Amino acid sequence: MASTAQTTNSIATGEAGSELRSALARCRSAIVGIGFFSGLINLLTLTGSLFMLEVYDRVLPGRSIPTLVGLAIITALLFVFQAIMEIIRGRMLVRIGNQIDWRLSDRVYDLVIRLPLRARDVLLLAAAGSHDQHEGDDDGDGATHGWLRAP
């Protein structure tokens, strides 16, 4: 109920940008958390490359199977951790999106429904004004090419 009153008030004052800013500000800590998760995921993306680097630099020259097994286990754990981080980040993004949608959906719906009506009214008024301006443009014989001025 308060959301509808707030939306109606915002429509009257025309503060569309401040509504979006306010919705994003309420999710600021979650957005910062997503930034942290994204940075960590980006670092974990290097896991495969670092594994191959270590295999070629340590395992192959020394022909060390225990080193290969250890690196493979560490790499597998890092890939699992990366997958978990991706899932958590995805869920956070969905929750933030739902929250912003819930806060702005009334306003967006109202604009989508009313904007075509307002635009139609403006076009009708412009057409009527254009007709009024040309009303006295007769050439004297009474034949006013009305079909040219029809809205």
| 23: its two tokens | 């919705």
Q: Which amino acid is at 93?
A: L
Strand boundaries in 45-144, DSSP class E? none
Asked if the model's pLDDT at residue 47 lies above 60, the reply is: yes
pLDDT band at 108 (very low <50, low <70, confident <90, very high): confident
Task: Report pLDDT for 4.
Answer: 45
Taking residues 42-59, report their average pLDDT. 94
| DSSP state letter for 137 | -
| 105: its two tokens | 């959906």
Q: In angstroms, rounded to a whole number, what is the distance separating the alpha carbons of residues 18 and 7?
A: 11
Q: In angstroms, rounded to a whole number, what is the distance separating the alpha carbons of residues 17 and 131?
A: 37
